[in-house]
Structure formats: C-alpha cells, structure tokens
Amino acid sequence: MYLQVKKLCFIFLMMHSFVFAQNIVGKVYGADNKKTPIPGAVVGWVNSPVYTVTDDKGSFSLKQDQSSKLIYAAFLGYVSDTVSYTKQKEIKFTLKVNNNQLEEVVVRDNESASIIKAREASLTQLITAKELTKAACCNLSESFETNPAIDASFTDAVTGTRQIKLLGLDGPYSYYTRGNIPVMGGVASVLGLQLIPGSWIQNIQLTKGSGSVINGFESVAGQVNYELRKPDGDEQFYGQLYGNAGGRLEQSGVYSIVINDKWSTNLMAYGRQNTSKPDFNNDGFLDNPQGNMWIGQNTWKYNGTNGWESQFGVKFASNNQVGGQMAAVDAQEGDQVWRAFMDTKRLEYWQKVGYVFKNSVGRTMGLQVAYNYHDQTADFGLPTQKTYGAIENSAYANLIFQDIIKTTDHAYKAGISFKYLSLNETYLGTDYFRTEKIPGIFLEYTYLLKEALTVVAGMRLDDHNLYGAFFTPRLHIRFEPFKKHTFRFNVGKAYRTPNLFADNIGGMASNRMWQIETGDVAYPYYGLKQEESINAGISYAYSFELDYRPGSFRVEYFYTTFENQLVKDWDAATNQLNFYNLNGQSFAHSAQVQLDYEVFQRFNARIAYRFVDAQTTYRSIGLSEQPFISKHRFFTNLEYKTKNSWKFDATLNTMSSQRLPTTESNPAPYQRGATSPVFSTLNVQIAKDFYDRLEVHIGVENAFDYRQDNPIVAADNPFAPEFDASMVWGPVMGRVIYAGIRLKLLKKKTD
C-alpha cells in the first residue's frame, strides 16, 4: 500500500510539474531610466526551435523545452541576454541598447578593452572607450596607438596630418562610417580623421577585409565604424582637458539631456589650440603647425512605443592652421617664407529612421540619410606658388528591409541606396570637376547553424554615371567546430573612385611637380579608371583560460589584389610625383599573430607580430615594394590596475626598415638612403581614478626620444627643386610629455 501511495504521489508530482511547466512567463524591458517594456522581442530556448514574441506590454509566455536550460531574449538594436532557467515563477530581461548596432552577442572577458566579436561572421574587433583612454587619444587618427593591426603615420613633416594604414594599404582604402553611415570620402578621405574628436567616441568597430554589402561597394582594406556617445546613455556629462609640452591644448565636453520618455539630446563641443613654435630638430621648420580647431555637434534621439525609432544630428567643424618655416605664422605678403596653410570648413547632417513590425519576428525597416558640405583651401610654399582648393557637396540614402525566412536561422536584408557627390577642385590654377550619381540595390542572406556556423552571402549592383554598372559579391563564413576554436573566411570585391589630390595631400608639402598621365578619355576624372580590388582573408581565434585567467590567441592572413588602381610613383624623378593607371600587378599580403593574456590579476599583456608585403608595378622601376611601409612590426602592450584605481599602461612598437624613394640625382647634401633604419617607440601613461568619476593622467609619447634625422630634404633651401617635406617614415616630434583630466557625471536613476 505504501509503495502504491508513493507511486501515485510521484505521478501526481510529475503531472503537476508538467502542467505548471508548460508555460514560462516573464517580461522584457529596455535598460532606460524607466525600464520601458519592449514589444516584439524574441524569447526562446538556446539551441532549440521553441520561441515566442513579447506582446504590446513586453510580456511573454514560453513553452517548456526539456532539452535546454538557457533562455535568451533578443531585439533589434539591443544587446541580447541569456539566463539560466531554474524553475523561476517569472523571468525578467533588461536589455541594454546595442551601441555598435551589430545584432550579435558580444563576449566580454575580464572587461577587456578590445574584443573580437565572437558571433560575427567577419573578423570584427570592438575597441571600447576604455581602450581609447589608454593613450593620448585626441582624434580618430590617433585612436589606434594600442592596436597592432593599424599603423598611424604622418603624411608629411609640416602639416601635422596623420593617416592610418590597414592591411598594408593607405588610409583612403579603409571605409569610414559613423553608425554605419559613410562619413568620409572625397576631400575628407585623409583630412577628415582629425575632425572626429576621440573623447566623443563611445566605441569603434574595426572590420578587416571587405565589409557588408549593405554599407556600400567600397571597403577595400576594411571598415572603421565608430559610434558616438548616446543622448540616452548613462552619462549626464563627459569632459576632457588635455595639454602637452609641444604647446597643444584641447578641451572637450558632451552634455546629455533626457527630455521625456521618448526624446533625448546631447550637445558636443571640442576645441584645440596649438600655441607654441616647437623646433626640436633645429631645421628652421615648425614641428607642429599653429592654429585653432573648433567642432560642435547636436544629436537627437527618439524612442517610440509604436515601433518607430529615429536619431539625427548636425555637426560643424572649422580648422585653420599654418605650418612651415618658423616665420610662417607672422609672415606678411611678399615675404620669402615657405609655409603650409590649410583652412577647412565642414558641415554634416545625418539621420536614421527605423520601424519594427509588431508580431513579426525579425522584420524591420530602416532608412539612413546623410549630407556633407566640405570647403578646403590650402597653399604650400609661397601663398601663390602651390595652391589647392575644393568645394564638395555629397548626399547619401540607404533603405534597408530585414526579415527572416520561416525561422531565425535564415534571415535576409535587402534594399536600395543612392550616393551623390559634386566636387570642384582647383590645383595650380586648373579646375577639376566631377559629379557622381550612383544608384544601387543589394541583397544579403544570413544562415545560422546553432553556434557552430554562420554564413553571410551578399551581393549588390550599382550603376555609376561615370564608370557604368558594376557587380559586388561578398562572402563571410564563421565556423566553430569546437567550443572556443573559431575559424573565419571572407572574400569580396570592392570599388573606389580615387581622389587624386585629397588622397595624396601630403605630397603637396614638397617642390615636386605633379605629373598626371591621363589615360583613356572615356574616363572623365583625370582620365583615370575606377579602382577595383579583390580581398580574401582567413583567421583562427582561440579563447582559453589558463590558471583561472582568461586569454586569447589569434592568427590571420589577408590578401588584396588590384585589377585597377591609381599608382603614385615617387621614383620616376626626384623632383616629380607621377600618377597613372596601373599596368601590371599590385597586391598586399598581410599576416598577424596576436596573444592576449591576463598574466596575473589586473595585469594584462598584448603581444603581436605583423607582416606586410605590399608591391606595385611602377613604370620607372617595375614591380617593387611600396615605399614607406614596414614589412615587420613587433608590438607589446602592458596594462596594470591596482586595487585603489591606479592605472599603468605601456606600449612598445618596433618597426622594421622601409623602402624610400630614390634621391640619387639630388646633390650630395640632399640625398637620403635607400631604406630607413629600424626604430622603436615607447608610450607610457599613468592614471588615477577617483570614485569612477574623475581621472587624472600623465604620460609620455616617444619616451626614447627617437626622431627621424633631417625629415625635410633641403630644409635650408626651401625654394630649391629638391625641397621635400613628404619623405616621412618615422617620428618627427621627439619625446612629448602630456597631462589631462577626464570627468564623468552619471544621470540620476529613477524608478
């Protein structure tokens, strides 16, 4: 009798458990001040086809699935979350806004400041605001000091302009976007980097190789997408003051206001002044130009409860600077003084509008629009010797529709885009004008096989009014055969219209005569062809835990080959810089090995080696290495944080020799070697946090005080034909000590 009663009780309990486990209820909220419910969010079991969708109040009822113990919640524009099911009566998810807009789960180990996006099919690295504060980051071109993948160098020795190189290719071959909206191109292809304050940046996503076809047909070497601080973020105010021994002062502030449940806005301001006249190498030329930069921005964000979202902003930037000989700043008309003068005015407007279809899993629609106005004036030498001016108007529109095919394992994005550019350039009194009108259509399909496989196949067709129609296919594959072992493969085409003057503005800092060899008259832009390339890459990443501390190892290889390219030939003659269409091979091999590991608690090390072999066929010397590129780079970054919030950071870079353009025909005093020497630089920073609100930091760049000897050829005779300030391969400034303050005030929490 006892056994029968026990059996009946057991059966009753099992039935009771089954009945009550049929449906698991809960809610999904957004992590704003009032925890707004999210309708249309997907809630389901991990590795199971069982899922549901939240109702208008953010509530859900999910069927039980004995095959899984993890429940996830996901919604477009928010970071997905996962909880372990332990028979809770109710489950509540609070999803944070996904600042990087990449709709994938971000794996954060030990609060790392630099993260490889684990679920992304492409090799995408997330560089957080924490990483940007590890060095004297003042603008986007200076934001990669602690990143071994990108080389940052000066374009010349007089203008202070920096550009970055990715996969062995110059900066204009990378595709720059703000919130996945193109932001740089045309005249701003190089100069635009310094108009993006680093203190405004929330994070950067660096994608190597060809990116998504949704963002366009460019992205030869990769995509640099940056996200700015959000109006509805946690911060009420973020401010920064910076100054260095070279006379550079900076002020920056971001103030955010939440107006109501739907609207929020922020105001951003930035100023930079170069006040002193440093000449550490005593060559009679300013090491840094003097001048002022002012940038202001206003952004608005709307979060509706009816499925609509929008954000828009306007930005204005002004930069006026003078470099050159020491007397250039105070020179009067008629003075025989070599100067480098640049005046930049830029206006930007952008807007995003998104709609989430209710009761339709994964179905959304979005519109991106942007307009840019850029006014550039520059002269090099005497005010009337070498002049360059440009006025650019550009517009962009991109309509994206996203949906799934039966299940979330099959998804697609489709849409149409339009790009417009009107550019009027003047160089040495000759006008160069072009108008581009490029309508396009695209389709991208994504296949997910649980966590093991992701395939993203995309294609787009664009019709260029100058170059005709062209087709852009791209493929990204992520494969994880074993947990924590991830392989990636990508291949894709890219096209780009070369901006001959803006891309090579550093070459104007010389007395070289530019020779533009026009090609087929069928190509109206200087007679030059559209650049066309193919990029393929493969990588392997391993995440591990050793002695209870996290680490990661990554090895990667990328190959880029050009079918058409604008060739910049420094070797035809020492007093010339020749431009012409490629006739032969042009390629770049890039390989990198990187190890990240927490050596002991709060002490992290990043060690990397990068190899580049970039070669181009030149009419003057045939197939040869491209100049100003180090084949080998050895990189070490060490960071340590004490329990009482002292932070120590050191970055050591060793660059191998670089091929230099020939100067054999110059007089003996103005000749340079065929290659540069090997050199190393060390950057160190010490910071102290106070209550996680105020940070005071001091640091030194180029602590070894290494600088390029005689960076300016014929500095003693700037009006001689041999004068050249563009032969820069290493640091121009010596050791620079800096200090700064960062202040962060959080918004008050309300229930």
Q: Which distant-in-sequence residues (6+ apart) come within 8 Å of 116 by Cβ?
A: 123, 124, 125, 126, 541, 552, 554
Greatest mean pLDDT range, 175-189, 324-338, 365-379: 365-379
Structure tokens at 746: 């959080």
Q: Are strands 235-244 and 248-258 parallel, antiparallel or unpaired?
A: antiparallel
Could you tell me the CA-to-CA distances from 238 to 92, 255, 744 in Å, in that order? 31, 7, 5
pLDDT > 70 in the chain, percent:
91
What pLDDT sits at residue 19? Answer: 35
Could you tell me which residue, 52 or 437, shows the higher pLDDT? 437
pLDDT value, residue 5:
38
Q: Is the pLDDT of residue 449 over 70?
A: yes
Q: Could you tell me where the DSSP H helices lie in 104-149?
A: 129-132
Check residue 349 and give its pLDDT. 97
Same fold, 2-95 and 114-746: no
CA distances from 273 to 200, 291, 294, 505 (A): 18, 6, 9, 22
User: Which residues have C-beta within 8 Å of that of residue 30, sequence separation ≥ 6?
Assistant: 36, 37, 38, 78, 94, 95, 97, 303
Q: In the prediction, which pLDDT does 107 show?
A: 36
Q: What is the pLDDT of residues 666-679, one digit of tens each?
A: 999 999 999 999 99
φ/ψ (deg, to 5) at 225: -110, 125
Alpha-carbon distance 180 to 738, whole Å? 33
Which parts of 619-693 are beta strand (E)? 622-625, 632-641, 646-655, 679-690
Burial status of residue 617 (CB atoms within 10 A of its CB: 0-12, 13-18, 19 or more): middle
> What pLDDT, on the 0 to 100 scale, is given for residue 104?
37
Find the mean pLDDT for residues 333-348: 89
Determine the pLDDT at residue 100: 45
In the sheet that 23-30 helps form, which strands lie side by side, from edge to edge? 59-63, 23-30, 90-95
Q: Are 535 and 220 in contact (CB under 8 A)?
A: yes
Query: CA-based diameter of the chain, in Å?
Result: 117
Residue 590 has pLDDT above 70, yes or no: yes
- The per-residue pLDDT for range 475-484, each reduced to its tens digit, is 999 999 998 8
d(CA 620, CA 630): 22
Question: Which residues in 7-22 are b (16+ Cβ under 10 Å) and which e?
Answer: eeeeeeeeeeeeeeee
Q: What is the mean pLDDT of residues 707-736?
A: 90
The pLDDT tens digits of the residues spanning 141-181 come to 888 888 888 888 888 888 888 888 999 999 899 999 999 99
The two three-digit tokens of residue 751, written as one number: 């229930």
Residue 726 has which token pair?
């563009």
Angle among Cα 153, 140, 489 to the nearest 5 degrees reads: 85
β-strands 42-45, 622-625: how paired?
unpaired
Q: Which residues pair with 517 in a beta bridge?
A: none
Of 399, 384, 323, nearest to 156 (Cα)?
Answer: 323
Range in 13-22, 132-141, 359-368, 625-634 with the lowest mean pLDDT: 13-22
pLDDT at 387 over 70: yes
Q: Does position 10 have pLDDT exceeding 50, yes or no?
A: no
Higher pLDDT, 529 or 335: 529
For residues 99-123, average pLDDT = 55
Cβ neighbours of 291 (radius 10 Å): 19
Model confidence at 45, pLDDT cuts 50, 70, 90, reads confident
How much is the pLDDT for 660?
94
CB 515 within 8 Å of CB 579: yes
The pLDDT value recorded for residue 659 is 95
Min mean pLDDT across 51-55, 108-112, 158-162, 212-216 is at 108-112
**Helix, strand or coil for residue 283?**
coil
Q: Domain map of the chain by residue range?
A: 2-95, 114-746
Interatomic CA distance for residues 661 and 65, integer angstroms: 68
Lowest-confidence pick of 246-250, 485-489, 537-541: 246-250
Best CA proximity match to 492, nearest among 225, 216, 224:
216
Give me the pLDDT at residue 22, please. 55
The model carries a pTM of 0.83
pLDDT at 525 over 70: no
Range from 43-47, 299-303, 657-661, 701-705 carrying the lowest mean pLDDT: 43-47
Distance CA 513, CA 518 (A): 15
Tell me the residue ranges of DSSP E strands in 586-645: 586-600, 603-618, 622-625, 632-641
**C-alpha pair distances (Å), 607 with each of 56, 148, 551, 634:** 50, 9, 12, 8
Alpha helical stretches, state H, 569-683: none
Band (pLDDT 50/70/90 cuts) for residue 567 is very high
Other Cβ atoms closer than 10 A to 108: 12
CATH architecture for the domain at 2-95: Sandwich (2.60)
pLDDT at 77 over 80: no
Compute the average pLDDT of residues 115-129: 79
On the CB side of 37, CA atoms within 13 Å amount to 13
The single residue listed with the structure tokens 């070497």 is 221
Residues 623-633: pLDDT tens digits?
999 999 999 99
- Per residue in 318-335, pLDDT (tens digit) is 999 999 898 888 777 777
Question: Is the predicted pLDDT of residue 87 greater than 80, yes or no?
Answer: no
Average pLDDT over residues 364-388: 90
Task: Quote the pLDDT of residue 519.
Answer: 64
Chain-wide mean pLDDT for the chain? Answer: 87
**At 109, is the pLDDT very low, low, confident or very high (cuts 50, 70, 90)?**
very low
Beta-bridge partner residues of 418: 397, 439
Q: What is the pLDDT of residue 114?
A: 65
% of the chain residues with pLDDT over 90: 53
Q: Is the pLDDT score of 573 beyond 70?
A: yes
Beta-bridge partner residues of 84: 70
- Report helix, strand or coil for 333: coil
Residue 169, pLDDT score: 93
pLDDT grade for 59, boundaries at 50, 70 and 90: confident
Q: Lowest mean pLDDT: which of 78-82, 433-437, 491-495, 532-536?
A: 78-82
- Residue 441's Cβ-count burial label (10 Å; 0-12, 13-18, 19+) is middle
Answer with the residue of higher pLDDT: 384 or 5: 384
Distances (CA, A) of 140 to 86, 112, 143, 607, 723: 46, 20, 5, 23, 30
Cα dist. 235→113, 290, 427, 585 in Å? 19, 33, 46, 51
Could you give the C-alpha distances from 668 to 95, 671, 677, 725, 726, in angstroms and in order?
Answer: 67, 5, 19, 17, 19
Whether 34 shows a pLDDT value over 70: the answer reads: no
Task: Grade residue 118 by pLDDT with cuts at 50, 70 and 90.
Answer: low
- Residue 310 corresponds to which tokens in the numbers above? 């929008």
Tokens of 713: 């050829």
> If residue 114 lies in a helix (H) or strand (E), which one and from where to where?
strand 114-116
Q: Are 475 and 465 in contact (CB under 8 A)?
A: no
Contact 194, 162 (CB under 8 A): yes
Among the residues of 22-155, which ranges form H helices?
129-132
pLDDT at res. 1: 42
What is the 8-class DSSP label of residue 48?
S
Q: Which of 7-21, 67-81, 175-189, 550-564 holds the top average pLDDT?
A: 550-564
Q: Are 114 and 147 in contact (CB under 8 A)?
A: yes
Angle at CA of residue 559, ends 556 and 563, nearest 5° = 165
The CATH fold assigned to 114-746 is Maltoporin; Chain A (2.40.170)
Query: Are residues 100 and 126 in contact, defined by beta-carbon separation less than 8 angstroms?
Result: yes
